[in-house]
Amino acid sequence: MTKLRKADITKQAILDTAERLFVEKGYEGTSMRDITQTAQVNLAAINYHFGSKDQLIIAVMKRRLGAINNERLRLLDALEAESARTGHLIKPSQLVNAFFGSLLEHAGDEHHDGGIFLRLLEQTMVNPSSFISAIVAKENALVFKRYKQAFFNALPSVPEEEIIWRFQFMLGATSYAISGIQALLEAAEHSPNSTKLYDHYDNKLKPRLLSFILGGLRAPLPEFETVP
């Protein structure tokens, strides 16, 4: 029992350290030597728990994305169960809040290192690599599929192709809201020394962003010229 507990503590320390260094130096800029020295473990410990640097990166991303996506699926299951019970369609606003609200709440939760996770997402968005993008895509595949279908059901009068476009736009708006917060604060003439960068995620970003996303989702359908 004691050995297992020590192993778990070591594994947790490696994950936390790797995540922090990935944020500070980027994935490519972080070496195994950096991780072992900062976490105060030997290379054998990383190889034992993860096998390689690539597998360690996968574990870091899955730990964070898995928590968010599990919450997204839990909320969607509850909405669909309630819809089946009452016969009422799920509201688009409920889907927006369940999918995007989960991300923002997790990002703003400092009790669970939300700030670190937020900066990890920034790294993924600002400096995407094919390897990291593949991890994120695989981890999000089931959730995206289920939510797209849920949006189709919630907006029967909107063509499915249009919903796919708008879902992509919603993802883009959220990504930029996360990765562009520094530029936003600077444009608003906030001093980085007097304002914590991520304080705006707790009670100001979420209602603004969700309102913006919902407005875009409900926008009038575009009119296209008919090609003769």
pLDDT at 147: 96
Sign (positive or negative) of CA dihedral 57, 62, 67, 72: positive
Domain 57-217 classification at class level: mainly alpha
pLDDT at 137: 83
Tell whether pTM > 0.85: no
CA-atom Rg of the chain in angstroms: 20
Series of mean pLDDT values for 10-residue runs along the chain (228 residues):
68 91 84 93 92 89 87 97 96 95 73 63 65 82 95 94 93 77 59 48 75 92 75
The closest alpha carbon to 202, from 108, 110, 101, belongs to 108
pLDDT at 1: 43
pLDDT at 71: 93
The closest alpha carbon to 121, from 107, 142, 140, belongs to 107
pLDDT at 113: 58
Please give the DSSP secondary-structure letter assigned to residue 222.
P
The closest alpha carbon to 100, from 156, 157, 177, belongs to 177
pLDDT at 146: 96
Please state the domain extents for the chain. Answer: 1-51, 57-217
| Architecture label for domain 1-51 | Orthogonal Bundle (1.10)
